[in-house]
Chain A
């Protein structure tokens, strides 16, 4: 099963490699990992998407918690949560109808953020499934390049992963 683990970690040199090293050393799987500093610059927030059995996820969570730099951790699947991923996608519009593409972008609530001759760059956010679905609508050969942020997640409601809670 797929799980999303959120971590607050000290924003220090090497913190990311401690987490990545843990996954590779213990043979755990990482589907995606995103990391950036929080509003408190001494902390980074990391979102890891992984999969495994319940007992493996429990072990991953415990091992992550054991890292001295990890301040807090929660498993988003346990609670109602929102997840988002962002994609930038460069599309060759020489062969496709620009109007049709704009229509598609609208349906997926994307935005065209750069235009060059025959090249549109589109920005799209949503769940991973939505981004996959957008890619599937495009004809073969139309995609020049994609870049995806990996999943970010946050719990619904008052629950927060912060120093205070």
Chain B
């Protein structure tokens, strides 16, 4: 088969099994768009801004586990995509971004729409390539998909100069089935000796604690994690990125840990004697003050990325490997060890934990005449039977979902944890809804975040995506306001969002349905009404309590045992 470079790109994507590609055309990718136009295996979703393309591909990838694919042009197309690439990089999401580049002869000449895409993306990609010859396009794309999806996943950018996609240069094409990169051989099988040592340490623990992160989601290890946790009978907490990979409704689950984690999870972290960290990276929002982190604990850490181990915290038993493989091996090894967890010690530990749990640290004023954001999330959980895909933007609303929407399944909770990218929620929801057309998909957002990628409402109309936008509108950048209240004596510098649009009219002008909700008594019925419109995007604008804060909270530089809790009148 003789194909042009552009046709190779299109044919390769089909052969690689790509069903959706998110993008925006421009000069340097016109040949590729022309090739895509002539086929229908790969469906192209036209966004309204390249940031939206990357977030949509990201949402698709997080929900399905398959790589998200992006196609943008050179120059501003590439730079607009950077925020979304960095978002995917921080949360280890597999993504392949194809950027057009000016023709090879023009590279370095400050040509129209030229930017050094490989250089500008380097710090926020797992790897990137500038393709130098039409003969290298297929192999390079294969390498990109392989690198993006194996080991610790991440975004890989492939920059393709326009001249090598030209229609008149045709070369033979064969889909490269496999790839061998001598400098890239990720380890997936954990060291069995280390796994045995870890198992033995877990069995003699008096106050054990399991702490898991996004690695369990990436590795599709929910089942082995659940089996192991059940077998051991230990308490478990999860990071923001891990939520859902262990059923939140189970009684061994203590809720999220960290800055806005539960009292019981953070106290159990502080007092545990053995910490079993799985696919988590000891982020500063999780650990709090490092000097005070798990002061009495011996630490076991499983991670596929050796660089994540002992980066922030000393680890006693490091295990490099794929989480699912390591946990499966550990389950096998536990069967061969003639010992069981220390039941007496464990009973005492659970009693202590139940006492912490009784504090009910997430309580809020349920009698308020104003709509409490927590109440909206609780009702959202009720109306969707806890089974929706929820995306979010960044801020208070994101924390309220993490606290008040207990996820029982993996890949249902889709948010920007590491980079904390406002504007993520709506485009990410598009990717999720395209992957699962029949499922309930809600984007929980705030009036500040939603405006960062609001233009994608237009994309949603074009492709008939019936996302429910849950706008928690407190007329403030809530998290910024909260920090200003706590740490800047209430000087609300630029956190008040003046001149807000009428979101109902805005939704309507984009061709969608808008609902305004101002009273707590209307919350549930509005949600029911929204979800009943199965083929419509519904934008529900909840006017919420302006002064509500996220509790509990560990201030920066404090330890897990130094939480600030809500005082109810």
Q: Are chains A and B native binding partners rather than an unrelated pairing? A: yes
User: Contact residues of A with B, CB < 8 Å?
Assistant: 9-10, 13-14, 17-18, 21, 25, 55, 58-59, 62-63, 65-66, 68-71, 163
Tell me, in angstroms, the Cα distance from A59 to B308 when the chains sit together.
9
Extra pairs beyond A14-B118, A65-B306 (18, CB < 8 Å): A9-B183, A13-B130, A17-B119, A18-B122, A21-B123, A25-B123, A59-B310, A66-B305, A66-B306, A68-B147, A68-B181, A68-B183, A68-B184, A69-B127, A69-B183, A70-B183, A71-B183, A163-B182
- 1/0 per residue, CB under 8 A from A, across B139-183: the answer is 000000001000000000000000000000000000000000111
Q: Which one, B122, B147, B306, B310, contacts A17 given CB within 8 A?
A: B122
The residues of A that contact B181 with a CB separation of less than 8 Å are 68
The 6 A-B residue pairs with the shortest CB-CB distance, nearest first, are: A62-B307, A71-B183, A68-B127, A68-B184, A25-B123, A62-B306
**Given A10-B183, A163-B182, also A68-B126 (CB < 8 A):** yes
B residues 173-219 near A (Cβ < 8 Å) are: 181-184
Residue of B whose beta carbon sits closest to that of A59: B311
Residue of A whose beta carbon sits closest to that of B184: A68
**Given A25-B123, A68-B127, also A63-B307 (CB < 8 A):** yes
Give me 10 A-to-B residue pairs in the complex whose CB atoms sit less than 8 angstroms apart, sorted by A's number.
Answer: A13-B130, A14-B122, A14-B130, A17-B119, A21-B122, A25-B123, A55-B310, A62-B306, A63-B307, A71-B182
Helix, strand, loop or mixed for chain A's interface? helix
The residues of A that contact B183 with a CB separation of less than 8 Å are 9-10, 68-71
Tell me, in angstroms, the Cα distance from A14 to B147 when the chains sit together.
18
The residues of A that contact B307 with a CB separation of less than 8 Å are 59, 62-63, 65-66
The residues of B that contact A66 with a CB separation of less than 8 Å are 305-307
CB distance from A100 to the nearest CB of B (A): 51
Tell me, in angstroms, the Cα distance from A25 to B124 when the chains sit together.
10
CB distance from B94 to the nearest CB of A (A): 14
The residues of A that contact B147 with a CB separation of less than 8 Å are 68
Q: Which one, B119, B126, B182, B310, contacts A58 given CB within 8 A?
A: B310
CB distance from B92 to the nearest CB of A (A): 12
The residues of A that contact B118 with a CB separation of less than 8 Å are 14
Residue of A whose beta carbon sits closest to that of B147: A68
The residues of A that contact B126 with a CB separation of less than 8 Å are 68
CB distance from A77 to the nearest CB of B (A): 19
Tell me, in angstroms, the Cα distance from A9 to B375 when the chains sit together.
55
The residues of B that contact A21 with a CB separation of less than 8 Å are 122-123
Residue of A whose beta carbon sits closest to that of B307: A62
User: Contact residues of B with A, CB < 8 Å?
Assistant: 118-119, 122-123, 126-127, 130, 147, 181-184, 305-307, 310-311
Residue of B whose beta carbon sits closest to that of A8: B183
Residue of B whose beta carbon sits closest to that of A60: B307
Tell me, in angstroms, the Cα distance from A163 to B130 when the chains sit together.
25
The residues of B that contact A68 with a CB separation of less than 8 Å are 126-127, 147, 181, 183-184
The residues of B that contact A18 with a CB separation of less than 8 Å are 122
Residue of B whose beta carbon sits closest to that of A18: B122
Residue of A whose beta carbon sits closest to that of B151: A66
CB distance from B109 to the nearest CB of A (A): 17
Residue of A whose beta carbon sits closest to that of B128: A14
Tell me, in angstroms, the Cα distance from A9 to B118 when the chains sit together.
18
Tell me, in angstroms, the Cα distance from A65 to B119 when the chains sit together.
20
Tell me, in angstroms, the Cα distance from A68 to B126 when the chains sit together.
8
CB distance from A41 to the nearest CB of B (A): 15
Tell me, in angstroms, the Cα distance from A163 to B182 when the chains sit together.
9
Tell me, in angstroms, the Cα distance from A70 to B183 when the chains sit together.
6
Residue of A whose beta carbon sits closest to that of B125: A68
The residues of B that contact A55 with a CB separation of less than 8 Å are 310
The residues of A that contact B305 with a CB separation of less than 8 Å are 66
CB distance from A105 to the nearest CB of B (A): 43
The residues of B that contact A163 with a CB separation of less than 8 Å are 182
CB distance from A22 to the nearest CB of B (A): 8
The residues of B that contact A58 with a CB separation of less than 8 Å are 310
Tell me, in angstroms, the Cα distance from A128 to B211 when the chains sit together.
48
The residues of B that contact A70 with a CB separation of less than 8 Å are 183
The residues of B that contact A17 with a CB separation of less than 8 Å are 119, 122
The residues of B that contact A71 with a CB separation of less than 8 Å are 182-183
Tell me, in angstroms, the Cα distance from A58 to B127 when the chains sit together.
22
The residues of B that contact A69 with a CB separation of less than 8 Å are 127, 183
The residues of A that contact B311 with a CB separation of less than 8 Å are 59
Tell me, in angstroms, the Cα distance from A69 to B126 when the chains sit together.
11
Tell me, in angstroms, the Cα distance from A58 to B318 when the chains sit together.
14
Residue of A whose beta carbon sits closest to that of B124: A25
Residue of A whose beta carbon sits closest to that of B183: A71
Residue of B whose beta carbon sits closest to that of A25: B123
Which of B130, B182, B183 is packed against the most chain A CB atoms within 10 Å? B183
Tell me, in angstroms, the Cα distance from A9 to B182 when the chains sit together.
11
Residue of A whose beta carbon sits closest to that of B156: A68
Tell me, in angstroms, the Cα distance from A110 to B122 when the chains sit together.
42
CB distance from A81 to the nearest CB of B (A): 23
Tell me, in angstroms, the Cα distance from A25 to B413 when the chains sit together.
30
The residues of B that contact A63 with a CB separation of less than 8 Å are 307
The residues of A that contact B127 with a CB separation of less than 8 Å are 68-69
Tell me, in angstroms, the Cα distance from A59 to B315 when the chains sit together.
13
CB distance from B53 to the nearest CB of A (A): 24
Residue of A whose beta carbon sits closest to that of B127: A68
Tell me, in angstroms, the Cα distance from A163 to B307 when the chains sit together.
22
Residue of A whose beta carbon sits closest to that of B118: A14
Tell me, in angstroms, the Cα distance from A13 to B119 when the chains sit together.
11
The residues of A that contact B119 with a CB separation of less than 8 Å are 14, 17
Tell me, in angstroms, the Cα distance from A21 to B307 when the chains sit together.
17
CB distance from A36 to the nearest CB of B (A): 18
The residues of B that contact A14 with a CB separation of less than 8 Å are 118-119, 122, 130
Residue of B whose beta carbon sits closest to that of A63: B307
The residues of A that contact B130 with a CB separation of less than 8 Å are 13-14
Tell me, in angstroms, the Cα distance from A163 to B185 when the chains sit together.
14
CB distance from B233 to the nearest CB of A (A): 34
Tell me, in angstroms, the Cα distance from A155 to B222 when the chains sit together.
46
Tell me, in angstroms, the Cα distance from A71 to B180 when the chains sit together.
13
Tell me, in angstroms, the Cα distance from A70 to B182 when the chains sit together.
9
Residue of A whose beta carbon sits closest to that of B306: A62
Tell me, in angstroms, the Cα distance from A135 to B123 when the chains sit together.
39
CB distance from A163 to the nearest CB of B (A): 7
CB distance from B407 to the nearest CB of A (A): 30
